[in-house]
Structure 1
Amino acid sequence: MAFMPWRLKYLAKMAQGASYSTLLKRTMAFKSAISLETLYPTSSLKLTTPAFTPDPKEKFSGFIPMEKLDITYSASSGPGGQNVNKVHTKVDLRFKLSEADWIDPEIREKMLELHGKKLTKDGYLIIRSDTTRSQQLNLADCLQKLRNLIRDAAVTQREPSPDTQERIRQRHLKAARLRVALKREDSLKRGLRQPPTVVDL
């Protein structure tokens, strides 16, 4: 049996009761040795939020609860052949900023002040990403954009000291005087360029 041609093997197995389509699928099926199922047999691509206890002293630690976000996927634009029409890799991440209790109230108010024009009529902040052809990478890009927005709003501007304010005022005065002097110099140059007038004697 081991030396029979492969067609005769199929005929022999079909005679034993196995269907040809099942045998063909088993023969044509191929799994790479470095596939995700082989390397990580117990892993899953499902989005879950790990257990995390934020530090009360820190306004934002970078942790974003996934269950508080509304994430949708759609077909991405740009080059990619037929695959771009089949795979939904574009990520839209949205949440209602005014009801985001997982963001510090001070940071939330600052974000409303900075990004109020970007909100929808219902008050949702939308972050999109379609930079790659991977759904997971685009989602990670959206989350990183959201972290950057929160961290930018968390930065507090320190009040300058009186000495610093005086130095800034002196610089502004010096710049204003220099601007006026340059304008006067340009005015004199334009006056010298005028043609001479003929005086009747």
Structure 2
Amino acid sequence: MAFAFLRMGIMRVAQSGCYSTSLQRSMAYKSAISLETLYPNSSLKLSTPSFVPDPNEKFSGFIPIEKLDITYSASSGPGGQNVNKVHTKVDLRFKLSEATWIHRDIKERMLELHGKKLTKDGYLVIRSDTTRSQQLNLADCMQKLRNMIRDAAVTKRAPSPETEEKIRQRHLKASRLRVAMKREAAHRRELKRSPTVVDL
């Protein structure tokens, strides 16, 4: 019944020539929580700022993805038929000796730390198949590489003689305390023993 009245109303509006204006009004409705209502002065356009790494900084966290060799393959493990359809495993590799975007000192330190992981051709390979998402596995590889570079970028300072002496005194004190506690425990065990009776 309501549909019939609505149809008759639309026909009357169409006959009167106001059909287009009434439709425009109905289509122009916006919710009270629409983005334009909540943020009237916003352009609602997303923009990614361009990142320029600091040349004086050894490693800023920026890794040029275009200088990496990234390949995808089928992942192992459970996952049903989706494993055979989607290539989610990520292999990220680059030649460490030719990586101009890594500081020379960091490259030397990485060779010391991860020299055994390099291939015969000098490629450092990082793999990830922890998730069933290609993007998440790629992000995991990038994070692993970032952590490796940051670990190599940290320069460990040698402790001063005063610090070494403090550490030695702490170790000596801990050793003495451990020996004293063992002696006290042995003394307690000795006191708990029943006295021995000697026959005359």
- TM-score interval, smaller chain: 0.5 to 0.7
**Which sections of structure 2, spanning at least 5 residues, go unmatched?**
1-49
Q: Which position in structure 2 is the counterpart of 1:165?
A: 164
Q: Deviations over 1:69-128 (max 9, x none)?
A: 222211123443322211111101122334433321211222222233433455432211
Shift of 1:180: 1.5
Q: Which position in structure 2 is the counterpart of 1:41?
A: none
- Aligned positions of 1:15-34 closer than 5 A: none
SS at match of 1:95: strand
SS at match of 1:174: helix
SS at match of 1:64: coil
Cα gap change, 1:196 to 1:121, in 2 (>3 Å): farther
Structure whose alpha-carbon radius of gyration is higher: 2
- Aligned positions of 1:1-201 closer than 5 A: 54-192=53-191, 196-201=195-200
Q: RMSD in angstroms over aligned alpha carbons?
A: 2.8
Shift of 1:191: 4.1
Counterparts of 1:118 and 1:197, CA distance in 2: 66
SS at match of 1:73: strand
TM-score computed with the length of structure 1 as normaliser: 0.61
Shift of 1:193: 5.4
Identical columns (%): 81
